[in-house]
Chain A
Amino acid sequence: MGASASAVNRILQGILKASAAISDGAAEAPTQRRAADESGFGPRTFSPTELKPDKADLTTVIHPDGRMSQYPPTDRWDDWVEWDGKLWPKRVARRYTLVPTTCFNCESACGLLAYIDRETLDIRKFEGNPKHPGSRGRNCAKGPATINQIYDPERILYPLKRVGKRGEGKWQRVSWAEALDDIAQRMRESRMRRRDGIMYHVGRPGEDGYTNRCIQSWGVDGHNSHTNICSAGARAGYAFWVGEDRPSPDHAHSRVILLISSHLETGHYFNPHAQRIMEGVENGAKLITFDPRLSNTASKSHVWLPTWPGSETTVLLAIANYLIQNNRYNRQYVRDWVNWRETLEFFRSKPYPEVDFAFSGEGTFEDFDRLLKTLYAEYTFERAAEEAQVPIERIEEAAAYIADCDGRLASHTWRSASIGNLGGWQVARCLFFLNVLTGSVGTRGGTSMNAWNKFVPAPFDKPKAFNAWNELHLPHEWPLAFYEMSFLLPHFLEEGRGEIDVYFTRVYNPMWINPDGFMWLKALVDEEKMKFHVALTPTWNESAWFADYVLPMGHSGERHDLMSQETHAGQWISFRQPVRRVAMERLGKKVQYTYEANPGEVWEENEFWIEVSTRMDPDGSLGIREHFGSPYRPGEIITVDEYYQWIFENSVPGLPEVAAEHGLKPLEYMKRYGAFEVKAENYVPYDKPLASDGKADAAGNVVVDGKVAGILREGEARVGFPTPSRRLEFYSPTLRDWS
């Protein structure tokens, strides 16, 4: 009844008004004020402009798939006028300044372009950055959704200090100065006492080395990661083969794409990879996917192998066995690059009596071939089909495609089958075995390694290595632990192995992400063991609830970071920027700290770490402060701008020259364009001539100062791989020595 009455009232009132104004449309009165809230955070407003959009010469990005997409031309990014889409068809023009930044909704580091109202400084939207070599102006759903994070009404705007018991949920707003002094003081006290009392526990860092440098400057063993419940297994599988720990497949040019992942929908590096996977498929590549779920990727695959979890290695070895038994593997490649002589030496002493491969004793490649045929004979398609519970025809089909890949097998596994499973690391090792057998390592259309395609420029100062070991990170009884045993941290604390003076969590919610959340809860509330917990986070999460300080940090458009990822067979860097700060600077406003441009008192970590590090060592007696001196203004503390200015001027080959061509300084160039391509292509870097006059021994090893520095191929010394043998290690002496 009430509803009906109010509806009638509404109608009557409306009728009265309607006669006065037939067109009562969305006559919004845009204001130039920010919201009245002191935080400057509220409903977005956009300002009217007398200017009108015109048909500019748009930036056309010609994609390899023949598509052209169009973006505002870069010379108009400062001052771009566009019609308001929401108010359309009313022609309301908006005047924006466009600032590039880097997405932070996964680790792909795709480019974004923020549209910032020149009057109100509100961000209208995020589009792709056409100048970004990895994402090439395109994004996944998470890119444009960044706007929701920035204007999330529930985000944290001010530093909060716990006032009740841990987890009681009572908080007090404090000033940044108070928080910084308190935290720095505790860090100082811990550092004075010991070198393993501070722990920075990070999930996805979203940057390349900035924080690690700070931790190193503190002289403590303080870095903990989430990697051991994430990529560590796969990393180990790759590292023992090739000395680098992540794959970088060249999907776009491959003949066969083999995924133990779902990179057409998730994961690093979803958007850049998905683009290039479909590009490869369009160019005729066959897509093979191992995924127990009917994922989008599985749905798009030519061959979907819904392998029973744990059976992946068997299926991979069955494919390897097919290549080996039928001599479909690249014998020349294996002969050139695999440490088969070392392998045969190992087998000379008959360590496994049951492995009888009619060793001639001479150690020829034929011996090795026989060894392979003997070792893998048991991995039949039948066995694989039975273990994996998939139709045998599909495994055969996959094997046939791989046999025909012609050195262009792009393979990838990141987490999935290799995460947290006993023997999970072998999934990556067996997968890469197929790359080795087909000679698809670092080739065009093959699989490169992360370090070949990821470019991490050096900063202005690198603190000396310190002599410290945190047993809570890497306890001595696990010498082969690949990355910190971070998921066991609460158990270590429970066992009394140590205690933590200052614990930082960042992009990390251990209570939620680890399998035993209650164990973490127990540790987080234990003020004896977890003495002090600082959560650095833009929004609430389960673990932040149990912190002593919750410090709001910026989202992707509110912070500086420098990133690079091995998205394809090239190298690039991408600059994450606080877009409103850059916009304000463009509009002639002075900004000293990023938080001045951010909502409320949201900081960025770069500035936070400078502040906390210098406050930790006010007089320089701990040797920390010296690592935060400005390289441009002696005696002063470095600014974030100066930090990146130095990198762009000194550590990125080609950037100063390209910037100069644009009439810009390197930092100005990066602020304007947000990304830089360091190398367009980087294939088979291990085949580069070795710049050394070392002597090659009979086994083809180039030895310098008693260590293998390269290998001989076709009579020339090559740099080889970063393994002890400089070869692909089919047989790993490292594993032998440590286990």
Chain B
Amino acid sequence: MNYGFLIRNDRCIGCHACSTACKSENEVPLGVNRTWVKYVETGAYPDVTRHFQVTRCNHCANPPCVRICPVTAMYQRDDGIVEFDPDVCIGCKACMQACPYDAIYVDPDSGTAAKCHFCAHRVEVGLEPACVVVCPEHAIIAGDLDDPISEISRMIAASKVTVRKPEQGTSPKLFYTEGQEVTLTPTAVDRTPETFMWSDVMPLHGGDGHGDGHSAGHGDGGSPIPSPTVSASGRKSASGASLRKPQAQGVPDAGPIMIGKGRMADHMVQVAYNAQHLIPWHWPVPAYLVTKGIGAGIFLLLAIGYLLGLFTFSATAFVALGAVGIAALLATTGLLVYDLEKPARFLRIILRPQWRSWLVRGAFLLIGFSTIGGIWWAAEAAVSFGWIDPIGDTVRVALAWIIIPLAIGAAIYTAFLFGQAEGRDLWQSSLLPIHLIVQAFMAGSAAVLVTAMAVELPADLARVATITFGVSVVADLLVTFLGEFGMPHASEAAARAAHTITHGRYRKHYLASMIAGHLVPLALLAVGGPVAGAAAGVLAIVGLYLYEYAFVMAPQEIPNS
């Protein structure tokens, strides 16, 4: 048994009966949709038409939402249905980042992830899904793709069908006849036009109380696609034809599907209705990246410096800096839990882990790192208070060797988690592990420089921190400019997200991070002295937050439906 859907666009009349039948059958609250009909209008009057697309979970054969779910709240059944269990879900919203189709939402009543579950509760007793039964046009066909004589198999075999975004490697099991590229391709239309037919456009960032600083309603956000221009290069070919300037790579003017000038009233490609999706992750995620970097960076600096003999071991310094590192790790955990829609269920990550999820792997890395770091720090603190005998170098060396891989793991696992986010191409960067290590050194050494204002650190330690800081700031700039944003991006979604950071909504964050978070600190280092060093550290940490904020937010603005 292998359930799938076929949507017959040749029959669909865009009446939304499926949307309301689903709402009624599954008591889906207001404001969220398990299935909806996207409307896209194309053409120039009088040659215009409206395309409909029933849009919902694809019940992928290779579902990324299942892989990323830390607690098996999202799972794939033997019969191919991708189902969810609200009683298990912790509300981490990772599945929403993993889904490249905007199929998943957080139920406002339960605070847990939900989506189309193929009416599994009906299918089990032989009833077709509610949307199939209600459809006046038999435009939705549900059935067994493994059975060659099922209606869906026969029809797919005999028709031209398309799926959404096969390039994501998810193997969607929702097929469309007469699929339309402008409807299938989310970036072909504005994510948030000024209005929809018969519906208001919600602010993309919502008002969920987490307060991201700019949640005011707007129709300007979404994917900031440059206004269509054909820019002449001023050059001519041998024949005398005027030549156009090459466009930015991956960010074509007027979107990935250019029909005429596209998107203009006189030649339009516009979305007339779509379900609206709020951005799932806000400031706690970039903040967690920063605190995690500080914690990992401090311990890396202390352990590596100690092992290499770059500075003499100072118990006072270790206890002070370790305290900062542990505080940062506690803050990291606090932010992670705070960002859950069901924070009370956070222990389930440990108690019912789904090991393919990097949320789980990362949680255990963080636990291991915090435990060893905590033991080491507690031991050193106890020694300095005279509660226990001094620990020998052997123990210290062992602890340092153990903590280094854990700290590195804690710093970079997020890269692998982001890599599982199939819906955010920009995050799926092979540079990201390196970048996170560099950022950990940068943030950790910055924290050391700041701490030096309160606690007197040995001079050699301060010097090592200063050098590490300077080097990591430069490295971070290189990784950012020569890597993340210098290299072209493999997909249009990634390119567009990067464009949003460098030229769009997050441009200020990006510039502030680069200038105030990197160049100014380097200048302050050149000035020298502890105060300048501390100021440089503070600026670098703030700059890192601004960068991470842009990096976390921008890809979420690129539409997936």
Contact = CB atoms under 8 A, between A and B. Distances in A.
Nearest to A147: B24
B110 A138 contact: no
B25 A125 contact: yes
Interface string B61-82: 0000000000000000000000
A476 interface: no
Interface stretch (A23-31, A640-648, A716-724): A23-31
B17 A56 contact: no
Nearest to A142: B20
Given A22-B351, A147-B24, A140 B136 contact: yes
Nearest to A278: B137
Nearest to B87: A25
Interface in A4-42: 7-8, 10-11, 13-15, 17-19, 22-26
A7 B283 CA distance: 15
Q: How large is the interface on B (under 10, 10 to 19, 20 to 34, 35 or more residues)?
A: 35 or more
B23 A18 contact: no
A11 B343 contact: yes
Contacts of A63: 138
B130 interface: yes
A89 B17 contact: no
Contacts of B49: 294, 298-299, 304
B190 interface: no
B50 A143 contact: no
A265 interface: yes
B347 interface: yes
A58 interface: yes
Contact of B46 (A54, A86, A304): A304
B281 to A, nearest CB: 16
A89 B85 contact: yes
Interface string A46-90: 000000011110100001011101111000000000111110111
Given A53-B125, A70-B128, A282 B87 contact: no
B15 A84 contact: no
Interface in B118-141: 119-122, 124-128, 130, 132-138, 141
Given A71-B133, A85-B121, A144 B24 contact: yes
B52 interface: yes
Q: How large is the interface on A (under 10, 10 to 19, 20 to 34, 35 or more residues)?
A: 35 or more
B241 to A, nearest CB: 33
B19 A141 contact: yes
A140 B124 contact: no
Contacts of B87: 23-26, 90
A24 B27 contact: no
Contacts of A144: 17, 20-21, 23-25, 130, 134
A27 B48 CA distance: 52
Interface in B80-138: 83, 85-88, 110, 117, 119-122, 124-128, 130, 132-138
A390 interface: yes
B485 interface: no
Contacts of B396: none
Nearest to B135: A138
A3 interface: yes
Given A56-B126, A88-B117, A299-B50, A265 B24 contact: no
A498 interface: no
Contacts of B343: 7, 10-11, 14-15
B469 to A, nearest CB: 31
A245 interface: no
Contacts of A282: 11
B134 A143 contact: yes
A579 to B, nearest CB: 15
Given A11-B338, A55-B125, A264 B13 contact: yes
A390 B46 contact: yes
Contacts of B166: none
A443 interface: no
A104 to B, nearest CB: 16
Contacts of A564: none
Contact of B50 (A11, A85, A296): A296
A89 B134 CA distance: 23
B344 A15 contact: yes
A139 interface: yes
A55 B122 CA distance: 10
B41 interface: yes
Contact of A84 (B13, B24, B121): B121
Nearest to A15: B344
B240 interface: no
B344 A70 contact: no
B125 A145 contact: no
Interface in A141-185: 141-145, 147
Nearest to B211: A3
Interface in A515-540: none
Contact of B133 (A3, A128, A270, A294): A128
Contacts of A270: 15
Given A70-B128, A144-B134, 15 more contacts: A18-B344, A24-B345, A67-B138, A70-B126, A85-B26, A88-B121, A140-B136, A143-B17, A144-B21, A265-B14, A274-B136, A294-B49, A296-B50, A296-B52, A298-B50
15 contacts: A3-B209, A15-B347, A19-B347, A22-B347, A70-B127, A85-B25, A127-B21, A128-B134, A138-B133, A138-B136, A141-B16, A144-B21, A294-B49, A296-B50, A304-B46
Interface of A: 3, 7-8, 10-11, 13-15, 17-19, 22-26, 53-56, 58, 63, 65-67, 69-72, 82-86, 88-90, 125-128, 137-145, 147, 264-265, 270-271, 274-275, 278, 282, 294, 296-300, 304, 306, 390-391, 394
Closest 6 CB pairs of A and B: A14-B344, A25-B87, A83-B121, A299-B50, A67-B138, A144-B24
